Structures are given as C-alpha cells and as structure tokens.
C-alpha cells in the first residue's frame, strides 16, 4: 500500500510541473552570436484554437488573430537577452542577423473548472496545451506563402534552427504557480513558457553552470 501511494505521489509530482519543452529538432546548425534578431508574428491560419479562451466564444476569432503577435512579443522579451531583437511586419525583410518565424499549431486553453478539481486535475482534465513550430533562418532572401497551403512558412535563406515545442499547464492544479495559470487564463503563461524555452534552447550554458564568483582552479 505504501509503495502504491509513493508511486501515485511521484506521478502527481512529475505531472504537476507546468512548462514547455522542445519535442523534436529538424535542423541544428550550431550558429550563435547573431548581430540582431527579427521576429515575425507567428502564423495562425491553421491553428487549432480551442478551450476556454478569454472573452468567450464570441471573442475567440479576435484572440486567435492576435495570438501570433502575442507570442512574437513574448519571444522578443526573451531573445533580446541574446542580441538586439524586434518584431517586424510581414512586408519587412531584414538584411542582417536572424529571422525567427513559425506557426502556432495548437493553442488549447483547457478548462479552468476542471483544473479546480482536486487530484483529478493531475491526470488530464482541464490541462492547457500548446504546440508551436519554430524556424530560425539567416535574414534576407525572398519570401512568399504557398498559395496551396497558407500555413506553410516562406523560404528565407539558410535555415539555422528548426524545431517543435509542446507543453502546457499539466497537473499544476487550481493554485497554479509562476509558470501555470491555476484557474486563470492559460495562454499568456504557455506563451511565456514557450518563449523562455526558445531562448534557453539557443543559449550556451543558459543556467550559467560554468560561472564562478571566485577562482576555483588550484
């Protein structure tokens, strides 16, 4: 019985950590030190935009249309710690640095009511969930969306990094945390968690484990 309770408690603890992770990497060039970073609002043409979003069903199309820029703004705040960063419009083409773009594939805000249920919420009901595709290319080059599939990204020079992100509130419960919404609106939390993960993925020693406040070599 004790072993069963231990396993159950461990499962709840592991499931309760809200956040977003890199789930698959298609391109990893090893490039670093960009002179500047330019971010386009992420494409939301084919986004699966579901769950309890702020403003209700009537406002949902507005929230979806703004989601790509919302995530781009969050990315700017994180990536400007690596290099000067700015959000640009679709008709702007930077010539120097990195260009960051992508698609919001799934933005599921979950259900705050179900997140309020004790214990049960740790196993799925009410969880928020996002899936995001990120492409980072050398700035410059031609650009055009495909007429056949507007959700596809345009071609913009050599691709440096390309990867997928996924995550959400998981079983963080009704209290939430600095990384989880609790009974509040989940999307701002999930977008900020995803933006932070992008920065960490592109950083060298993101946790500064190699830094020391005093000499340690004898």
| DSSP output for 104-150 | EEEEE---HHHHTSTTGGGGSTT--EEEEEEEEEES-S-----SS-T
Q: What is the mean pLDDT of residues 131-160?
A: 67
Q: Which tops the pLDDT comparison, 209 or 165? A: 165
How confident is residue 111, by pLDDT bands cut at 50, 70 and 90?
confident
**Domain range list for the chain:** 17-202
Q: Given a cut of 60, is residue 132 above it in pLDDT?
A: yes
Q: What is the mean pLDDT of residues 84-94?
A: 94
Q: What is the mean pLDDT of residues 102-113?
A: 91
pLDDT of residue 206: 78
pLDDT of residue 124: 59
**169-211 pLDDT, tens digit each:** 866 655 555 666 656 688 999 999 999 999 999 999 876 776 6
Beta strands in the chain (DSSP E): 19-28, 37-39, 48-50, 85-87, 98-108, 129-138, 159-168
Q: Given a cut of 70, is residue 161 above it in pLDDT?
A: yes
What is the percent of the chain where pLDDT is above 90? 54
Q: Given a cut of 70, is residue 90 above it in pLDDT?
A: yes
Q: What is the mean pLDDT of residues 42-59?
A: 93
How confident is residue 9, by pLDDT bands cut at 50, 70 and 90?
very low
pLDDT of residue 178: 62
pLDDT of residue 8: 39
How confident is residue 10, by pLDDT bands cut at 50, 70 and 90?
very low
pLDDT of residue 27: 95
Q: Please list, in sequence order, all residues whose beta carbon lies within 8 angstroms of the beta carbon of residue 162, skipping any fewer than 6 positions away.
A: 25, 26, 27, 133, 134, 135, 136
């Amino acid at each position: 019985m004790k072993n069963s309770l231990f396993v159950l408690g461990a499962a709840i603890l592991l499931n309760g950590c809200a956040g977003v992770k890199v789930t698959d990497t298609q391109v990893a060039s090893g490039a670093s030190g960009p002179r500047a970073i330019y971010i386009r609002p992420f494409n939301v043409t084919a986004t699966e935009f579901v769950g309890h979003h702020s403003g209700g069903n009537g406002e949902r199309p507005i929230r979806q249309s703004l989601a790509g820029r919302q995530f781009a703004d969050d990315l700017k705040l994180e990536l400007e710690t690596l290099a000067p960063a700015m959000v640009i419009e679709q008709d702007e083409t930077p010539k120097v640095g990195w260009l960051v773009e992508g698609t919001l594939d799934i933005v599921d805000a979950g259900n705050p009511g179900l997140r309020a249920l004790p214990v049960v919420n740790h196993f799925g009901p009410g969880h928020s969930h996002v899936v995001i595709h990120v492409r980072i290319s050398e700035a410059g080059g031609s650009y055009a969306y495909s007429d056949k599939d507007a959700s596809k990204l345009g071609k913009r020079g050599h691709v440096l990094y390309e990867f997928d992100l996924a995550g959400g509130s998981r079983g963080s419960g009704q209290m939430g945390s600095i990384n989880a919404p609790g009974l509040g609106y989940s999307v701002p939390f999930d977008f900020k968690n995803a933006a932070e993960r992008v920065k960490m993925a592109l950083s060298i020693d993101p946790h500064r484990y190699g830094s020391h406040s005093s000499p340690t070599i004898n």
